[in-house]
Amino acid sequence: MKTIKLNILIILSILLLVFASGIYGANRVNELMRKGNKNYQEKKYEKALEDYKSVLNEGYVSPALYYNIGNTYYRLGKLGESILYYEKSLKLSPDDEDAHYNLNIAKAHTKDKIKAVPQLFIVKWWNAFITLLPASGWAIAVLIVYFILLLLIALWFFTKDSTVKQYSTLGGIVAVIVLIISITLLVSSTNHEKSNKYGILLQSVITAKTSPDNNSNDAFVIHEGVKFKIEDQLQGWNEIKLADGKVGWIPQKSFGEI
């Protein structure tokens, strides 16, 4: 009996510590965000960046945090980093109008104006649809539809009203169809995120090579802020593909991954 009580006390103590730690962490994040915002408003951009990066070090990530970091880097004249963090913000919140607007302003200052290779309409439409939400967003949608389906099933079993049974049956059929579509979109979005990794060049200028070797031939030259698809990785080098289809190798340390 004493052993059981002791174990219960230990479990409760651990839960209390975890709860207290969570509250402390949340309070610290909020304090750092307030401090960062205050320094930003006072145009102390270096200090604001330190505060925002401290929030990242606490393991906290959000569209607003990435957006603030992007704004701070832009004010510091670091174009590549600002574009990188605007893109990170939009990856978590694709419909953020402020992030889109500021990203376009930052992109307007880049030297390279690369025209994308036209995509087939159906491919463009499908990619736009599955990226309407991040994979985590589609996962939440799947859970919501799944719980609705369970509620409709429970309603069908526990009600005696024939009309309610009829509507719950129809609702269940619709929920199953929506659930299948949601799962398809979740799988497609997850695969899209895994197979489509993008980076932003952080160096002012770099010459891409035809192979992962400094002594290989030059492929093309790109400047800070250019976005590209990451195709492959080999011994500190990454093969990249530009929107216009050009392919080359650059050092991994020269860019940031979105």
- The CATH number given to whatever domain includes residue 44 is 1.25.40.10
173 and 84, same domain (yes or no): no
Picking from 231, 250, 253, 229, the residue whose alpha carbon sits closest to that of residue 116 is 229
* Run of H or E residues at 6: helix 2-41
Residue 112, domain member (yes or no)? no
Q: Is the pLDDT of residue 196 over 70?
A: yes
Report the alpha-carbon distance of residue 115 to residue 128 in Å, rounded: 18
Torsion (CA) 229, 233, 238, 239 in degrees, nearest 10 = -60
Question: What is the per-residue pLDDT across 146-159, written as a single tens digit (0 to 9) for each?
Answer: 999 999 999 998 88
Say what the pLDDT of residue 150 is.
95
Tokens of residue 222, six digits: 């790109």
Confirm if 169 and 210 have CB atoms less than 8 A apart: no
Say what the pLDDT of residue 19 is.
44
Question: What is the per-residue pLDDT across 114-160, written as a single tens digit (0 to 9) for each?
Answer: 988 777 788 888 888 888 888 888 999 999 999 999 999 999 988 88
Report the alpha-carbon distance of residue 63 to residue 100 in Å, rounded: 12
Report the alpha-carbon distance of residue 252 to residue 234 in Å, rounded: 9
8 and 90, same domain (yes or no): yes
One-letter amino acid at 22 equals G
Residue 91: which domain range?
A: 2-107
Q: Is the pLDDT of residue 90 over 50?
A: yes
72 and 151, same domain (yes or no): no
Question: What is the per-residue pLDDT across 226-251, written as a single tens digit (0 to 9) for each?
Answer: 999 999 999 999 999 999 999 999 99
The residue that leads in pLDDT, 20 or 156, is 156
Question: What is the per-residue pLDDT across 38-57, written as a single tens digit (0 to 9) for each?
Answer: 999 999 999 999 999 999 99
Question: What is the per-residue pLDDT across 56-82, written as a single tens digit (0 to 9) for each?
Answer: 998 899 999 999 999 999 999 999 999
138 and 185, same domain (yes or no): yes
The residue that leads in pLDDT, 19 or 14, is 14
Average pLDDT on 192-197 reads 82
Residue 116, domain member (yes or no)? no
Beta sheet of 197-201, edge-to-edge order: 218-223, 205-209, 247-251, 237-241, 227-234, 197-201, 255-257
